[in-house]
Structure 1
Amino acid sequence: MKISYHGHSVVKVVTDSHTILIDPFISGNEACDLDADTVKADVILLTHAHNDHVGDTFEIAKRNNALVVAPNELAVYLGGKGLVTHPMHIGGSHEFDFGTVKFTQAFHGSAYTEDNGAVIYGGMPGGILLTVEGKTIYHVGDTALFSDLKMYGEMNDIEVAFIPIGDNFTMGPEDALVAADWINAKVSVPVHYNTFPMIDQDPKAWAGKVKTGEGRVMEIGEAMEL
């Protein structure tokens, strides 16, 4: 299995049989190295409904006939737009042919803004525990620091955690260090930073302060093997 990072909160997981995209914010994301018109995906996982996470889901899913797994209200909305969806909710898990998905809590908002300015409620935001080929990846999603992250770390043997550090809209570096300690992943990777000025951070400084496991900055397009 190969996991790669593509700016903001975009993560790609490639297995022997599937390509999985998480929060594919590509168009309008200058940090992303992917091309929304050509990127392949069998599955798209969405943590919540904000436009900088739903991103290019419509176009990618239609072109690839990809399955979209998302919180219930967001999945219903996307299904109404013609996408193939699987709705889930916080605490629920489901075993798919590509692996197991479990949604965790996240303390944030979740609404999609259409081109005409209409705001569509997207249900509760979440994090995603993705278990593939016996390895668990935790995409924490957009969230504040909350104590149940410690419980998730205790309940799961997490290989890699993608943790937001940008501040203002999510937890900042100091809170994210606590989160990394609680989650107890073998590798903690900072995400959701430097996409725009309000969330500018120094990811290398953050990674160097991670005390539990390894803090690792993944450059845009960089991949790791699990």
Structure 2
Amino acid sequence: MLENIKWFGHDSFKITGEKVIYTDPFQIKKPDKADIILVTHEHYDHFSPDDIKKLLAPHTVIALPKDCSGKIKAKEVIVKPGDKINIEGVEIEVVPSYNLNKKFHPKEKGWVGYIFKVMGKRIYIAGDTDYIPEMKSFKDIDIALLPVSGTYVMTAEEAVQAALDINPKIAIPMHYGSIVGSEKDAQYFAEKLKGKIDVIILQPER
């Protein structure tokens, strides 16, 4: 499954299975047409209309929070935390994503993360979030994509605690090395989880 996950830096991934799924596409150099695009929130480095347009095909469906809606001519599904949806046969749970003690991602905005199934594997992409209480309720996660940079999101140390709560089979650090954070954050995350959870540090696609 890991060979089907490509990271473009930040929170931007392409995950290929029964469908081609992109998350928060940003600075995409070699676009493929997407079946599904999952947008977590409206900040420019997560909701990039220019990048999304590169990926659009007539059938592409974009899941996105309400405040991102109507800005791109495409098929949309407006989502909020707690929703359970099915797009093109892909089961998707919409989960909260917010800051506890920072002002950048207020809970009342209703911004999101996603849990979705690809080739029988449940994948969680957290979005820009702190280590939040809801994470303890996320069950049977095979692969967790977790921010580790601090500043706008949880720190690497907090991400370790989040990973232990979620208990995925594999954790992949993200949200470092471009705007904030460095590879040292990813390495710290991997070291602290050694022997507990398998951590894979991906190299960004260029």
TM-score, structure 1 normalization = 0.78
Match of 1:89 among 75, 80, 105: 80
Tell me by how many angstroms 1:21 deviates. Answer: 0.4
The answer to whether the Cα contact below 8 Å between 2:94 and 2:113 also exists between their aligned partners in 1 is yes
Q: 1:60 to 1:191 in 2, by over 3 A?
A: same
What does residue 143 of structure 1 align with?
129
| Residue type of the alignment partner of 2:17 | T
Is the aligned partner of 1:213 residue 2:197? yes
Match of 1:200 among 163, 166, 182: 182
Matched ranges for 1:28-177 at <5 A? 34-35=28-29, 38-55=31-48, 56-62=50-56, 64-65=57-58, 66-74=60-68, 76-78=69-71, 81-108=72-99, 109=104, 123-152=109-138, 156-177=139-160
**How many angstroms apart in 2 are the aligned matches of 1:110 and 1:173?**
18
| Residue type of the alignment partner of 1:13 | I
**How many angstroms apart in 2 are the aligned matches of 1:166 and 1:46?**
20
**How many angstroms apart in 2 are the aligned matches of 1:60 and 1:164?**
25
Structure 2 unaligned regions, length at least 5? none
| Residue type of the alignment partner of 1:52 | D
Tell me by how many angstroms 1:103 deviates. Answer: 0.9
Q: SS where residue 86 of structure 1 aligns?
A: strand
Q: SS where residue 45 of structure 2 aligns?
A: helix
Structure 1 unaligned regions, length at least 5? 27-33, 112-121
Runs (4+) of structure 1 exceeding 6 A deviation are none
Q: 1:42 to 1:208 in 2, by over 3 A?
A: same
**How many angstroms apart in 1 are the aligned matches of 2:160 and 2:52?**
34
The answer to whether the Cα contact below 8 Å between 1:209 and 1:215 also exists between their aligned partners in 2 is no
Tell me by how many angstroms 1:97 deviates. Answer: 2.0
Q: SS where residue 180 of structure 1 aligns?
A: helix
What does residue 15 of structure 2 align with?
13
Q: Larger relative CO (CA 8 A, sep 6+): 1 or 2?
A: 1
**How many angstroms apart in 1 are the aligned matches of 2:167 and 2:41?**
24
Tell me by how many angstroms 1:58 deviates. Answer: 4.1
Sequence identity (%): 26
